Structure 1
Amino acid sequence: MGYSIPKTPVTLMAAVYRKVFPAVSKELTFWKERAQQIPDNELRNQALASIESKRFHCLGGAVYALLSGYRWQEAIRFIVAYQTISDYLDNLCDRSTSMDPDDFRQLHQAMTDALSPANPIKNYYAFRNEQTDGEYLADLVRTCQKTMRNLEYDVIKGYLSKLETLYSDLQVHKHVRRDERVGRLSAWFRDNASASPSLYWHEFSAAAGSTLGIFCLVAYALSGRMNEKMAEQVVESYFPFMQGLHILLDYYIDQEEDRREGDLNFCSYYEGHARMKERFTYFIRQADTHVQQLMDRPFHKMVHHGLVGLYLGDPKVKQLPGGTDMTGALLRESGSAASFFHWNVKLYHFIRKTKARPPVPEKGENRESSQGD
């Protein structure tokens, strides 16, 4: 793959289908087999569920491996491991047997340790009943730490810490008792509002919930092209607008599911569909502006527009009030690249749906009797 960074949607998708997706699938197969060996039923079920239902997080995040040059496979190994930690812990907190913020903080210490090669492995389950995972979470952490030992760590250390701290703080505040969540998140935003004065509290929370900036920093550090100025530019470009758009779109398509499950959804705090569309448009424009300062800016702009196409191509959008209107407006704002990714994703979902259908019996064939007497 070398240092040929994709500059067009066609070359990006070619690299993704030819290189990235097969490598991600291989990594996920490994971690799924590890998860199947977890002794505790609850931990095993949540680990397997996170891989099964959220694998697209790894598939999407792994596009940043294309920034790593010849070390793209190392980047994918890190991205899949780190995103798997994130998705697993999110499941443990969302469907938790605990509502203890100390438990959530201790669990997410794993994400801090994964980015800190000198940190020892801890008992991340110290505040919950379920304890025995057969070293599953610890091995995920060790996999990430191995990558950290083989890149320009000192250059990106502080920037990784900033993004990871925001992420972990969010996970603690948003998973406590329902009657405490908004109060905690609002107070947290007020403590940080000077850094993002143009945002609402729920938009700041969304921006903190993305791992894209971390993947970008690690990928560039693996390539050997990272320096202090560049690391600062990555964080400024990705937080809050690129990451905020990412998570707001993620919450947008999950509105109905979150309503059924009683999960907090940041999109529900907009004053109607029109206001939400207006703010999404604002995030798209701001992200466009901020990525201009980056090396490989055509790539970052494509990823940014790809997010719009990716999420709005999900079949769940059709079930949302105003979904068609939102899709049309945001695709027009994002341009032809977003539309290209949008139709690619729709085709992908169509093919998956077609493959999942049972075969149609030929005329005159009895489905039950054809199974044998």
Structure 2
Amino acid sequence: MVKVYKDIFPRVHHELNYWKKKAECIPDLELRMQALASIDSKTFHCEGGGVYALLAGENLGEAVRFIVAYQTISDYLDNLCDRSTSMDPQDFRQLHQSMTDALTPSNELKDYYAFREEKNDGDYLQDLVKTCQDVLRQSEAYAVTEKYTTKLGYLYNDLQVHKHVKEEERLPRLMSWFETHQDMCSNLKWYEFSACTGSTLGIFCLVSYALGGEMEESLAQRIEESYFPYMQGLHILLDYYIDQEEDKEEGDLNFCSYYDHEEMMKERLVYFVKQTNHSIQSLPHRGFHEMVHEGLVGMYLADRKVKAMQHAKSFVRSMLKASGKKATFFYLNTKMYNRLRGIKAAL
């Protein structure tokens, strides 16, 4: 944790400040507003993802550059699809082509705004893609890794298209999509599978190992199988858990709302905790991956939104008990960090 606070978070904030300044110069008002909002409200996504840079060894700084740029694309596009002016799946698909290109250094840049009215972002999105590509070109080991990152990336992109279309089309599309992939996750419900595809953690893990030079085919395959579905699913289900009230007010899709009742949701998330812990045992640096697993639980449950939620105390208690003492440490540590950050902002 000392290394995270000392080496990772300052680098993450340095990179985010760079992209924030670029976003402030976006000519189109709507695109500028969504870009800035995505950075201001989702900094913790980059902070959490940045932890994976520890796996990159001497290339820690380059790993942070990639993680912040890729996560910033993800958060920006999420805002564009969630909060902006289009409901067109063709537009969403074209926007998310940028995430495929970011993972594919050989791809040429494209007009990612081809199917929407707002277009002039001052090359903001293309510069984010180029940054990712430039970092990946430095790693010979990424040639082994690419098919695994792009596989996870395609699943992520599909989810973003299906879940942002017109409300009456969302469930049929998501259910039909699940049917085509059900053999991968036969023990999951359609909404749990969707959650598992919505995380960037597996990509950050694969890229960081590649940048550290520690990559071969068998390791890449083990990482993908260890992170998908359970680690990624746990990540996104926790994210949706804390956003339930906000999503209800905004009319946004929330996968936690499809559980029959609160007790069922608690049981299933505890199941994801246990399966995640089992699935990461075969990875090198097992302690690191356990830390991420426990940190995810602690970080999300310590979010300020949880305090106001109904039945939150019982849910938090069950999740921390299933996750172990280190999760409780992260829970208390994150609450303190958030409190200190709030005091600093007030000053």
Same fold (TM over 0.5): yes
Q: Cα distance, 1:154 vs. partner? A: 1.6
* CA 1:227–1:328: 2 relative to 1, 3 Å: same
Instruction: Tell me, in whole angstroms, the C-alpha distance in 1 between the residues paired with 2:320 and 2:306.
Output: 13
1:97 equivalenced with 2:85 (yes/no): yes
Pairs within 5 Å for 1:227-306: 227-306=216-295
Counterpart for residue 307 of structure 1? 296
> What is the aligned partner in structure 1 of residue 205 from structure 2?
216
What TM-score, normalized to structure 1? Answer: 0.92
The answer for the alignment partner of 1:349 in structure 2 is 338
Say whether residues 1:62 and 2:50 are aligned partners. yes
Structure 1 residue runs of 5 or longer lacking an equivalent are 1-12, 359-373
Residue 140 (structure 1) aligns with: 128
Amino acid at match of 1:64: Y
Partner Cα distance (2:292, 2:278) in 1: 14
* Alpha-carbon offset, residue 147 of structure 1: 1.2
- Structure-1 residue corresponding to 2:110: 122
Structure 1's consecutive aligned runs of 4 or more residues displaced over 3 angstroms after TM superposition are 355-358
Q: What percentage of residue pairs aligned between the two structures are identical? A: 60
* Paired residue type of 1:186: M
- How far apart, CA to CA, are the structure 2 residues paired with 1:109 and 1:353? 37
Q: Of residues 57, 61, 65 in structure 2, which corresponds to 1:73?
A: 61
Match of 1:192 among 171, 175, 181: 181
What's the CA shift string for 1:166-198, capped at 9, x where partnerless?
000000000000011011001100110000011
1:21 aligns with 2:21: no
* Mapped contact 2:73–2:125 kept (Cα < 8 A): yes
Q: How far apart, CA to CA, are the structure 2 residues paired with 1:349 and 1:63?
A: 17
Answer whether contact 2:196 2:229 (CA < 8 A) is retained.
yes
RMSD value, Cα: 0.8
The alignment status of 1:84 with 2:98, answered yes or no, reads no
Letter in 1 for 2:126: A
Specify the alignment match of 2:321 in structure 1: 332
Question: In 2, Cα distance between the equivalents of 1:324 and 1:20?
Answer: 31
Residue 113 of structure 1: aligned partner: 101
Q: Distance in 1 between matches of 2:29 and 2:252?
A: 23
Q: How many Å separate the matches in 1 of 2:278 and 2:169?
A: 36
Q: Which residue does 2:191 correspond to in 1?
A: 202
Letter in 1 for 2:170: R
2:28 pairs with one of 24, 40, 54 = 40
Give the letter for the 1:232 counterpart.
Q
In structure 2, distance between residues paired with 1:357 and 1:120:
44
C-alpha contact (below 8 Å) 2:142/2:211 kept by paired residues: no
* Matches of 1:157 and 1:216, distance apart in 2: 12
In structure 2, what residue type is equivalent to 1:191? T
Structure with max Cα Rg: 1
Q: Which amino acid aligns with 2:3?
A: A
For 2:301, give the aligned amino acid.
Answer: L
Give 1:357 shift: 4.2
Match of 2:307 in 1: 318
Report deviation, 1:356: 4.1
Please give the alpha-carbon distance, in whole angstroms, between the structure 2 residues aligned to 1:249 and 1:38. 33
Which residue in 1 is equivalent to 2:41? 53
> Does the residue aligned with 1:317 lie in a helix, a strand or coil?
helix
**Could you say what secondary structure the match of 2:315 adopts?**
helix
Show CA shifts across 1:263-296 (max 9, x none). Answer: 0000000011100000001000000000001011
Cα distance in 1 for partners of 2:333, 2:255 equals 27
- Residue type of the partner of 1:228? E
Q: Which runs of 5+ in 2 are unaligned?
A: none
- SS state at 1:68 partner: helix
Q: State the alpha-carbon separation in 1 of the partners of residues 11 and 143 from structure 2.
A: 28
Shift of 1:324: 0.7
| Whole-angstrom CA distance in 1 between matches of 2:211 and 2:255 | 34
Give, in whole Å, the separation in 1 of the partners of 2:314 and 2:107. Answer: 48
Q: Which amino acid aligns with 1:311?
A: Y
Name the structure 1 match of 2:147: 158
Aligned residue pair count: 346
- Report deviation, 1:355: 3.4
Report Cα offsets for 1:181-217 as digits up to 9, x if no partner: 0110011001100000110001100000000000000
TM-score by length of 2: 0.99
Q: Which amino acid aligns with 1:255?
A: Q
